[in-house]
Amino acid sequence: MFQLALNHIVLGAFAAIASSLVGMTTYRTVTLEQDTVVDFIVVGSGSAGSVVASRLSENPNWEVLVLEAGGQPPPESKVPGLSSYGLLSESKYNYDYKVVTQRHALLNYVNQGNFYPRGKVIGGTSTINFMVYFRGNRKDYDRWAGMGNTGWDYDSVLPFFKKIENYKGKHAKKYAKYHGRTGPLSVESMRWDSPFTKYFMAAGKELGLKQVDFNSEYHVGE
Ligand SMILES: Cc1cc2nc3c(=O)[nH]c(=O)nc-3n(C[C@H](O)[C@H](O)[C@H](O)COP(=O)(O)OP(=O)(O)OC[C@H]3O[C@@H](n4cnc5c(N)ncnc54)[C@H](O)[C@@H]3O)c2cc1C
């Protein structure tokens, strides 16, 4: 219990310092008149809703209203390590859902259930997540296309992934075709590695695994 309290104090202090360093955005909220007319109403400002609203509002002739159940994001949301497993769980920023007992999954969890955080805040779950940029597996996209969803195969969606990306990291030449550098979504490598990382990577190398760009063709070390 004492350890837990101490952790929260340390995290709280860290969050306070972080907030002064990161520079928070305060999003504009409006009070609507009763007869307000808009062209589009987007419900939820999460990962999907924010992008939909942003793209729609590129047309200066359209009025776009975003309705969000949560409020302004806290400074901790700028620090991935402090997100849902730190300060944001069981808070006003989180719906704090629980997964019901699973029959075939979560086998090593108590009662085969788990907590299931979802953001109730501007930015939605992207505000409380770990900020890992992972596009997913080619086979999933190709399978969706195979089920009749024309245009969702990996080769068709890749140009859009590249269009939104502003990749700032380094990568081997062979990965260049997977990255965009002029989009609105900044992506970069971790700026800091824990000392443990070097041992973890060395262990992988010892097992014969190659380091790969997991937003390319291979997700697991070749
Ligand atoms: C702990 C955790 C870590 C994660 N880490 C990563 C990661 O590192 N990388 C990654 O890519 N993904 C990660 N994810 C997954 C990713 O964050 C989610 O898949 C994604 O944010 C979901 O986007 P969404 O738009 O579908 O929903 P959300 O982002 O959850 O948005 C839904 C929004 O709608 C609002 N809303 C709901 N109902 C209403 C209503 N009736 N009226 C008004 N507003 C409403 C909610 O408040 C919320 O803001 C993580 C998820 C969790 C929980």
Write down how long the chain is: 222
Domain residues for the domain of 23 are 2-131
**Alpha carbon of 46 to ligand 1 centroid (Å):** 5
Residue 197 and residue 121 in one domain = no
Q: Whose alpha carbon is nearest atom 10 of ligand 1? A: 132
* Residue 117 token pair: 């955080």
**Same-domain pairing of 78 and 57:** yes
Q: Residue 215 belongs to a domain with what CATH number?
A: 1.10.1220.110
Which residue, by CA, sits nearest to atom 3 of ligand 1? Answer: 129
Our answer on whether the CB atom of 75 is closer than 6 Å to any ligand 1 atom is no
Q: Would you say the CB of residue 68 lies under 6 angstroms from ligand 1?
A: yes
pLDDT tens for 54-74 read 999 999 999 999 999 999 998
Fill in the DSSP letter of residue 45.
-
Percentage of the chain surpassing pLDDT 90? 58
Evaluate if residue 22 carries a pLDDT over 90.
no
Q: Which tokens belong to 47?
A: 């990962």
What kind and span of H or E run contains 164? helix 154-164
Indicate whether 197 and 153 sit together in one domain: yes
Which atom of ligand 1 lies closest to the CA of 122? 49
Residue 17 CA to residue 141 CA, distance in Å, equals 41
Same domain, 204 and 151: yes
| Total number of domains in the chain | 2
For the chain, counts of helices (H) and of strands (E): 5, 6
- Same structural domain for residues 29 and 72? yes
From the CA of 177, how far away is ligand 1's center (Å)? 29
The model scores a pTM over 0.85: no
Q: How many Å apart are CA 151 and CA 29, to the nearest integer?
A: 36
Band the pLDDT of 40: cuts 50, 70, 90. very high
The confidence score (pLDDT) of residue 191 equals 83
How far is it, in rounded angstroms, from Cα 179 to Cα 173?
11
Closest CA to 62 of 53, 49, 70: 53
Nearest to 86 by CA among 146, 154, 18, 31: 18
Residue 73 Cβ < 6 Å to ligand 1: no
Paired sense of beta strands 64-67 and 40-43, if any: parallel
DSSP classification of residue 147 = T
